[in-house]
Amino acid sequence: MKKINHIISANQFTKKDLREIFKITDRMKTGRYRKPLKNKILATLFYEPSTRTRLSFESAMLKLGGQVLTTENAKESSSAFKGESLKDSIKIISSYVDAIVIRHPDNKSMDVAAKASKVPIINAGNGTDEHPTQAILDFYTISKRLNKFNNIHIALVGDLKNGRTVHSLINLMGKYNTHFYFISPAKLKLSVNYKNFLDSENINYLEEKLENIINKIDVLYMTRIQKERFESLSEYKKINRSYLLSPKIVKRMKKDSIILHPLPRIQELPEEIDDDYRSYYFKQAENGLYARMALLYRILRS
Ligand code: NCD
């Protein structure tokens, strides 16, 4: 049986894969492509809210000449509302289309989907676990801007327990010689699994205060406290203002460093930071389109 090219975890990409994906991403950015995915259909199945991920995947598919079927609120508008299992939904949908992009609140959802599907499954976020295509666009943005893959000092700030973009970025950059700084409220610390992974790769990490390392880092990766993962609103409210970036803090950053955020932002990244030349999150989001074009091209070209 032919192996299906699912994208489930950032772990699955080798350095060689990334070089190839980034090269195609560069090409997509120049606009020099025809319609290589003509006659292909992509389904986007989102059981959780999304702006950038769904629309950039859909735009990517259309730009490459393919077509898109979408359920933007699959929880209410698909048969899931009537009680259909994810397994059944995927079994059926995979006989209509050539690939399926899914976002789902359950960490185990991608394994279920991949088992049930006849076509590639692309993980657009599975609960608190992973968001591999975001990591690809994040690392593409970082390596292009800094012009290197190794020796990068990156601070990951905010909800490291529930933030899936952080988890995938660690899985991806943990394969390179990266120096990680983890900055989070005590209740939202990174799980030990990721630390074990970094230990096994011999990669340095420190749990630090932002003010102690702000002048040393190349990348400041801010994240939102994931309100929807809290059991009660009062628990969320106790820590939702833990890390608020300010121009005063940003001022201490290195000249050639960058600020990233997967977005959406809440109060942790005030709009006044947008004018700083190191703010790179809108470019980062734009790169999402080109990176997803590259991924779709790689999976679906015949
Ligand atoms: C992220 C997500 O959904 O995990 N958003 C995104 O895809 N850019 C980050 C978040 O929701 O905080």
> What's the CA gap between 145 and 134, in Å, rounded?
16
Q: Which of 102, 110, 122, 131 to mutate to test the pocket of ligand 1 (most atoms within 8 A of CB)?
A: 131
> What's the CA gap between 85 and 62, in Å, rounded?
29
* pLDDT at residue 84 in the model: 77
- Closest ligand 1 atom number to CA of residue 103: 3
| Ligand 1 touching residue 292 (CB < 6 A) | no
| Ligand 1 touching residue 125 (CB < 6 A) | yes
Max Cα-Cα span within the chain: 58
Q: How far is CA 214 from CA 17, 165, 217, 253, in A?
A: 32, 21, 6, 6
Mean pLDDT along residues 275-281: 97
* pLDDT at residue 1 in the model: 54
Classify domain 10-130+288-300 at the CATH topology level.
Answer: Rossmann fold (3.40.50)
| Ligand 1 touching residue 158 (CB < 6 A) | no
Closest CA to 102 of 64, 89, 28: 89
User: Is residue 161 over pLDDT 60?
Assistant: yes
Mind listing the pLDDT tens digit for each residue in 175-206?
A: 999 999 999 999 999 999 999 999 999 999 99
- Could you tell me where the beta strands, DSSP code E, fall in 148-224? 152-157, 178-183, 204-207, 219-222
* pLDDT at residue 229 in the model: 86
So which residues are the catalytic ones?
52-53, 82, 103, 131
> What's the CA gap between 295 and 61, in Å, rounded?
10
Mean pLDDT along residues 169-174: 98
Q: Which of 44, 137, 165 to mutate to test the pocket of ligand 1 (most atoms within 8 A of CB)?
A: 165
User: Is residue 85 over pLDDT 60?
Assistant: yes
Q: Residues of CATH 3.40.50.1370 domain(s) within the chain?
A: 10-130+288-300, 132-285
Instruction: Flag whether the pTM goes above 0.75.
Output: yes
Task: Judge: domain 132-285, CATH 3.40.50.1370.
Answer: yes
Closest CA to 163 of 139, 146, 182, 180: 182
